[in-house]
Amino acid sequence: MNVTLRQLRAFVALAQTGSFTEAASRLHVTQSALSGLIKELESALGVQVVQRSTRKVGLTEVGKEFHPLANRLLQDLDGALDTIADLKTLKRGLVRVAAPQLMAAAVMPEVMALFRTQYPDVDVRLVDCLAEQLMPKLHSGEVDFVVGPERESTPEVDAVQLFETPFVVVFPADHPLRAKRRVTWEQALQHPVVALKGEYTHRLRVDLQGAVPQESLNPVKEVTFMTTALSMVAAGLGVTTCLPYAASLIRLHGLHSRPLTPEVRRRFFVFTRKDRPLSPAAQRLAHTLREFVQRQDWVR
């Protein structure tokens, strides 16, 4: 059985109007073309659905049973096509993105607010988490894409660089480091350091190998989130190192920062799964994010 949409639309239009003339006009076809579509439908179904007479057009008993089913099928299809059109034109949609906690707090809210002014009907859901948790969320399908620091490449994931930026040292307003325009790592590490646990400090030690004595990077406090580290620095418990995209949070805590030498940089990427193309809404959010970071003075 090979029933086409054109045949179904012809049948429903004829059933609703009761006239070949009106149905043909509604579908913008000739009466002969409409009659041909009805004959094709009946041939495909193997049963007559339309009663023809010189005075009127009616439905057979089978046609009367078939009409609501065909009408509902077309309505469902048209609804699905309308949904696709809305998604394509960003009149609706859902985007799920994951980012490290500091970026989620300092960068993503501004990006989301900018995106909402352009596409108010698209729902953006942000997952803030540890950097180590980003890729598992991408692989599991929990999020559409991930924004995060560089990771070893895998065949399942596409990585597009978003920005590169160097570390800064962060300290209270009355700290001696404020008198310097640039601070060496050795100078910064002479003060008590509040650092992040795990991979963050491990990678920093690797990057600084040979530049400073390894025992210098010996934090007095280790915490999970950079926002906690900033609060501890504001309380006078030490200094910390972070990336300058946290400038708004640094100011919020009444803190100051200086570039560190030699420069240690971090590259951030947009990560996506190769087997899951981004929706139009997710593509546009990623584009909005790229445009936003390109305008920031902390991108080097």
Over the stretch 98-129, which tens digit does the pLDDT of each residue have? 999 999 999 999 999 999 999 998 899 999 99
- Provide the mean pLDDT of the chain: 90
Q: What is the pLDDT of residues 187-230, one digit of tens each?
A: 999 999 999 988 888 888 888 887 777 667 788 999 999 999 99
The SS3 of residue 91 is coil
What is the CATH architecture assignment of 168-263? Answer: 3-Layer(aba) Sandwich (3.40)
pLDDT (average), residues 178-184: 94
Q: What is the pLDDT of residues 155-169, one digit of tens each?
A: 999 999 999 999 999
Q: How confident is the model at residue 54 (pLDDT cuts 50, 70, 90)?
A: low
| 5-88 and 168-263 have identical folds | no
pLDDT score recorded for residue 58: 86
pLDDT score recorded for residue 214: 64
Q: How confident is the model at residue 55 (pLDDT cuts 50, 70, 90)?
A: low
- Which two three-digit tokens encode residue 5? 């949409």
Looking up tokens 């660089």 gives: 161
Q: What is the pTM for the complete model shown?
A: 0.71
The Cα 119–Cα 121 span in angstroms is 6
pLDDT (average), residues 271-299: 92
Q: How far is residue 58 from each of residues 36, 51, 92, 114, 280, measured CA to CA in Å?
A: 17, 5, 41, 57, 45
- Domain spans of the chain, in order of start: 5-88, 93-161+273-294, 168-263
Angle at 146 between CA 144 and CA 149, to 5 degrees: 170
- The CATH number for 5-88, chosen from 3.40.50.300, 2.130.10.10, 1.20.1250.20, 1.10.10.10, is 1.10.10.10
Of the chain, the percentage scoring pLDDT greater than 90 comes to 58
pLDDT score recorded for residue 212: 77
The Cα 143–Cα 134 span in angstroms is 9
Of the chain, the percentage scoring pLDDT greater than 70 comes to 97
In sequence order, the 6+-apart residues with CB closer than 8 A to the CB of 186 are: 212, 216
More confident residue, 14 or 216: 14
More confident residue, 171 or 277: 171
Q: How confident is the model at residue 87 (pLDDT cuts 50, 70, 90)?
A: low
Q: What is the pLDDT of residues 224-247, one digit of tens each?
A: 999 999 999 999 999 999 999 999
Q: How confident is the model at residue 179 (pLDDT cuts 50, 70, 90)?
A: very high
pLDDT score recorded for residue 199: 82
- The CATH number for 93-161+273-294, chosen from 1.10.287.890, 2.60.120.260, 1.10.10.60, 3.40.190.10, is 3.40.190.10
Are 118 and 164 in contact by the 8 Å Cβ rule? The answer is no
The Cα 298–Cα 223 span in angstroms is 24
DSSP 8-state secondary structure symbol assigned to residue 297: T
Over 90: is that where the pLDDT of 279 sits? no
Are 271 and 146 in contact by the 8 Å Cβ rule? The answer is yes
